[in-house]
Structure 1
Amino acid sequence: MFGIYLKRELGRRKKAALVIALGLALGIALVITVNSVSAGMTQAQDKVLKSLYGLGTDMTVTKARTAPTSGSSGGPNFKFDAKSSSSSTQSSDRVQTQGGQALKSSLVTKVAGQKGVESAVGALSLNVTKVDGSFTQGKAKTSTSSSGSSNNSGQGQPGAGSSSSGGAPQVQGGGANFDVNSYSVVGVDVAHQGLGPLSTMKVTSGKTFTTAQTSAKVALVSKSYAKEKKYKVGSTFKISGTKFTVIGIATPDSSESDTDVFVPLKVAQTLGDAKNQVTTIYVKATDSKQISTVKKEITANISGTTVTTSADLASTVSGSLSTASSLATSVGKWLSIAVLAAAFLVAALLTSSAVSRRVREFGTLKALGWPSRNVTRQVVGESIVNGLIGGALGIALGVGAAYAVTAISPKLTAQLGSTGGGAGGGPGGGGPGQQASQNTLEIALSAPVSLTTIALAVGLAVAGGLIAGAMGGWRASRMRPADALRSVS
């Protein structure tokens, strides 16, 4: 009886039911869209941070920056010993640790032994500047005259063009033509590749390092650098006279890697004259919820270091990604809450208004013996059905909007600034040497819809129906059979 009456009454009031359902649908669709975009923002920020950190890396430990020593500018310098011969091409490599900041390798074991640390691994980030080219020696020439009259007097006479004519010697021609190529090299612990620079890289051609290659002159190169230099598996190149063989091409899991070449850690230490040194220690905590506690533990027990977590780096992300994320988090969520509240209120008012127009119907039902709870149940049942219809429409609209955002994939930029104190370097080598620089990444925005979001939408639809039904049912329960008789003309 309840179901039959419910179906008949909804059929009689299709327009009113549709208006209520559409109002709820718009509010629910906005909630789904905002939640999906916010989830996409979170994923985009994770991609940005993964370009600095390895997957599973919770924090990095680097040497605290120190002021330049007396008599030193602290800036980069380059010494180049030119050869006397101008006919031969000259080449020189400058290899140095990033920022000149390094830690003792023994600190890796010390960090790994701290409370709350599951594992730690060291890496050495190097900057290589290669200069190729040649000098051309100029030729000294003596001017034969200082005025037009002396030129005329010297024509055809012995000794013309000598220094006695008063002309000053001048150097003509000569100069230098050099190409400068700068690239990054990271030394990795080949025995622990699952944590650190290589953890965000996937070897798409060739193979990765083996544990036996700790001192081997082999290298992995990033896909972009291999394309630029036309390297393939088996290609060879030199760094400071040391010949390396490319054994694999590595592609980053997300964004783009700032590291061009990966070599075994011991080999990198030899190249950079940094024996038993690392620039970055990658740390994984035993409990991801205790990262801040582990950070305090390491900072307190190991002096002269800076510990940087993903939260620290997140605070340095700027650009359109940061702006859009702030809008989605603050304005978007408050807007969706306001629209949803308005939709609930409108549904409740429309339901209450519809009950007012059904005085004769409900009064007659009570006169026939219907108790108030049956009348209330009828109104609440109709409202819940309207809410579920609105929820279905809202889910369809929200998922459609989220799919449209994913299909368009608007591009957002993220600038990774300095954390101000030796921020941890990731695969891109974001170590101390890059404190003053900013890495700009371009991220495609998506809007994934999760099952949690769908469940939230269903819950909101039921809640909207219950709120509207509660108000309408309360009003219907207060009607008396005499109200129906008075409404008869």
Structure 2
Amino acid sequence: MFFTYLRRELRRRRKAALVVASGLALGIALVIVVSSVSSGMKQAQGKVLESLYGLGTDMTVTKAADPSEEGSGRPRFKFDAKGEEGEEQSSDRVMVQGFQTLASSTVAEVGEQDGVADAVGGLSLQVMKVDGRFKQGEFEQAPGGSGGRAQPPGGGTDQQQGEVRGGGADFDVDSYSVYGTDVGKPALGPLTSSKISKGRTFTGTEANSKVAVADASYAKEKKLAVGDTVTISGTKIRVVGIATPDSGGAAANLYVPLKRAQALADAKNKITTVYVKAADSQQIGAVKSAIQKNISGTTVTTSADLADTVSGSLSTASDLASSVGKWLSIAVLVAAFLVAGLLTSSAVSRRVREFGTLKALGWKSGQVTRQVVGEAVVNGLVGGVLGIAVGLGGAYAVTAISPTLTAELGSGGGLSGGGLMRAGGPGGPGEALGQSASKALDISLTAPVSTTTIALAVGLAVAGGLIAGAFGGWRASRLRPADALRRVE
């Protein structure tokens, strides 16, 4: 009889039920959209961090800045002309990023710390290449004399009056980043954030080979293909693969074996970076403390620290989704629950004659209350279904549009989630991995909907129905048959 009466009453009061369900649906839909967008923000931020430091990076360890060394190691470039006039001149210089390095033994020191599962070194380089020609000027004599090749005015028996015109130099300067990675441990390092789209990656036997993997964007810009060669400081390096970053920001333009990078930079047994895999990602704080305590002159930056340095529209949108969006969702939900409760209570006040009659026929107050609560719960479930449908539609719309957000990572180091950390020299965390830390990354926003979000929506729908039913049930339970029958609906 309960379900029969419930079905009849809901059909008879369809408009009122739809109003209550719609109010709950609005709040639930907003919660789903905000939760999905917030989840998308976290994924986008994770992509930014992964693109800079490889999959699973949790922290970076950098050499503490030494004020006494500030301004030292400034780059100098000496260029001497050679050959005949107009002949192509070409020279390049390989410099260590940040101009300071750590000893290769640091890798073993970090690996011995409690909580560290594995460690691997890397060397970040910057190559400055200059190509061009010199042109000698022409000496133009004053009127009455004869012109010719530029020479000292006093070179003849009679001093010639005139000036040198023309000449000079036309040079193209190209700067690109090279990263030396340990080919013996391919699971660690910045190359793990990229996928080999053409060719192959390094093999374990190429520890000092003249091979390279090129970033896809750099390869496109320089028209490089698998099998082509690039010349770095007079050494010809063969491209064996093309790597495409997972989220648009490569750690370097070219990757080469670590020993080959050390030879190119004349930095034997030197590194700028140590990538470390933590045994337990939940113990990052303890690992950080151990490294700082036992390896002097280092500064450790965790993933949370790096996330704080991410700025741009991604950071702004993330703040809005996590703070404004959360409180807006709560406010709408509270309003929806209150409105549903008030509407249900109002509906009960209009049904006093009906409930009075039921009580006169033998219904107990508990039965009347259950009837009102049952109707409200059904309204809540209907609102939940509508809210989930609207929320899924909103999340799908965000994913389909995929608005582009810009993320900029401040220099100062960083990493991303999973179980890795990195150690490097000054200029290392922000600079040692090349251009990624100094340029903006464009990330497409998605709004993934998880099963947890759906379960939350169902729970809110039931809670909304129970709250509304509690209002109406309490009102109905207080009715007395004699009083109710004296009132006209």
Scaled by the length of structure 2, the TM-score of the pair is 0.92
- The match for 1:51 is 51
Q: Say whether the 8 Å CA contact 1:144–1:165 is kept in structure 2.
A: no
Trace 1:274-353 onto structure 2 (pairs within 5 A).
Answer: 274-353=267-346
- Kindly provide the amino acid, as one letter, of the partner of residue 352 in structure 1: S
Counterparts of 1:10 and 1:256, CA distance in 2: 57
Counterparts of 2:69 and 2:372, CA distance in 1: 82
> Using a 3 Å threshold, how does the CA distance of structure 1 residues 352 and 14 change in structure 2: closer, same or farther?
same
- The match for 2:227 is 234
Q: Say whether the 8 Å CA contact 2:63–2:297 is kept in structure 1.
A: yes
Deviation at 1:85, TM superposition (A): 2.4
Trace 1:130-141 onto structure 2 (pairs within 5 A).
Answer: 130-141=129-140
- The match for 1:154 is none
- The match for 2:118 is 119
Deviation at 1:290, TM superposition (A): 1.7
Q: Are positions 1:179 and 2:172 aligned together?
A: yes
Counterparts of 1:425 and 1:350, CA distance in 2: 64
- The match for 1:470 is 470
> Using a 3 Å threshold, how does the CA distance of structure 1 residues 386 and 436 change in structure 2: closer, same or farther?
closer
> Using a 3 Å threshold, how does the CA distance of structure 1 residues 488 and 331 change in structure 2: closer, same or farther?
closer
Deviation at 1:56, TM superposition (A): 1.8
Q: Say whether the 8 Å CA contact 2:302–2:414 is kept in structure 1.
A: no
Counterparts of 1:248 and 1:420, CA distance in 2: 28
Q: Are positions 1:110 and 2:103 aligned together?
A: no
State which drifts further: 383-392 or 233-242.
233-242
> Using a 3 Å threshold, how does the CA distance of structure 1 residues 67 and 143 change in structure 2: closer, same or farther?
farther
Counterparts of 1:302 and 1:349, CA distance in 2: 65
Trace 1:21-420 onto structure 2 (pairs within 5 A).
Answer: 21-67=21-67, 69=69, 74-83=73-82, 85-144=84-143, 168-419=161-412
Counterparts of 1:214 and 1:49, CA distance in 2: 27
State which drifts further: 227-236 or 377-386.
227-236
Q: Give 5+ residue unaligned stretches, structure 1.
A: 146-150, 152-160
- The match for 2:151 is none
Q: Secondary structure at the match of 1:57?
A: strand
Deviation at 1:357, TM superposition (A): 0.6
Counterparts of 2:2 and 2:317, CA distance in 1: 49
Deviation at 1:171, TM superposition (A): 1.9
- The match for 1:9 is 9
Q: Are positions 1:448 and 2:441 aligned together?
A: no
- The match for 2:150 is none
- The match for 2:18 is 18
RMSD of aligned residue pairs (Cα, Å): 2.5
Counterparts of 1:328 and 1:255, CA distance in 2: 24
Q: Say whether the 8 Å CA contact 2:340–2:468 is kept in structure 1.
A: yes
Q: Say whether the 8 Å CA contact 1:62–1:102 is kept in structure 2.
A: no
Per-residue displacement from partner, 1:289-317 (whole Å, max 9, x unpaired)?
22122112111111122222221111111
- Kindly provide the amino acid, as one letter, of the partner of residue 324 in structure 1: A
Q: Say whether the 8 Å CA contact 1:55–1:200 is kept in structure 2.
A: yes
Deviation at 1:449, TM superposition (A): 0.6
Per-residue displacement from partner, 1:19-51 (whole Å, max 9, x unpaired)?
000000000000000000000111110011111
> Using a 3 Å threshold, how does the CA distance of structure 1 residues 458 and 324 change in structure 2: closer, same or farther?
same
Counterparts of 1:58 and 1:421, CA distance in 2: 8
Counterparts of 1:43 and 1:96, CA distance in 2: 35
- Kindly provide the amino acid, as one letter, of the partner of residue 130 in structure 2: V
State which drifts further: 472-481 or 386-395.
472-481
Per-residue displacement from partner, 1:52-109 (whole Å, max 9, x unpaired)?
1111222222322334659x66533211122252132111011011010211110101
- Kindly provide the amino acid, as one letter, of the partner of residue 136 in structure 1: K
Deviation at 1:471, TM superposition (A): 1.2
Q: Say whether the 8 Å CA contact 2:50–2:56 is kept in structure 1.
A: no
Counterparts of 2:321 and 2:40, CA distance in 1: 10
State which drifts further: 411-420 or 317-326.
411-420
Q: Secondary structure at the match of 1:214?
A: coil
> Using a 3 Å threshold, how does the CA distance of structure 1 residues 436 and 412 change in structure 2: closer, same or farther?
closer
Q: Secondary structure at the match of 1:303?
A: coil
- The match for 1:484 is 484
Deviation at 1:485, TM superposition (A): 2.2
State which drifts further: 82-91 or 406-415.
82-91
Q: Secondary structure at the match of 2:57?
A: coil
> Using a 3 Å threshold, how does the CA distance of structure 1 residues 80 and 163 change in structure 2: closer, same or farther?
closer
Q: Report the number of matched residues.
A: 473
> Using a 3 Å threshold, how does the CA distance of structure 1 residues 367 and 425 change in structure 2: closer, same or farther?
farther
- Kindly provide the amino acid, as one letter, of the partner of residue 292 in structure 2: T
> Using a 3 Å threshold, how does the CA distance of structure 1 residues 258 and 391 change in structure 2: closer, same or farther?
same
Counterparts of 2:122 and 2:251, CA distance in 1: 15
Counterparts of 2:56 and 2:287, CA distance in 1: 15
Counterparts of 1:231 and 1:111, CA distance in 2: 37
Counterparts of 1:261 and 1:328, CA distance in 2: 37
Q: Say whether the 8 Å CA contact 2:431–2:438 is kept in structure 1.
A: no
> Using a 3 Å threshold, how does the CA distance of structure 1 residues 432 and 468 change in structure 2: closer, same or farther?
same
State which drifts further: 25-34 or 302-311.
302-311
Counterparts of 2:233 and 2:126, CA distance in 1: 12
Counterparts of 2:443 and 2:128, CA distance in 1: 29
Counterparts of 1:188 and 1:294, CA distance in 2: 23
Q: Say whether the 8 Å CA contact 1:383–1:469 is kept in structure 2.
A: yes
Q: Say whether the 8 Å CA contact 1:413–1:443 is kept in structure 2.
A: yes
- Kindly provide the amino acid, as one letter, of the partner of residue 188 in structure 1: T
Counterparts of 2:106 and 2:364, CA distance in 1: 79
Q: Say whether the 8 Å CA contact 2:37–2:446 is kept in structure 1.
A: yes
Q: Say whether the 8 Å CA contact 1:376–1:473 is kept in structure 2.
A: yes
Counterparts of 2:109 and 2:413, CA distance in 1: 24
- Kindly provide the amino acid, as one letter, of the partner of residue 107 in structure 1: T
Counterparts of 1:190 and 1:78, CA distance in 2: 31
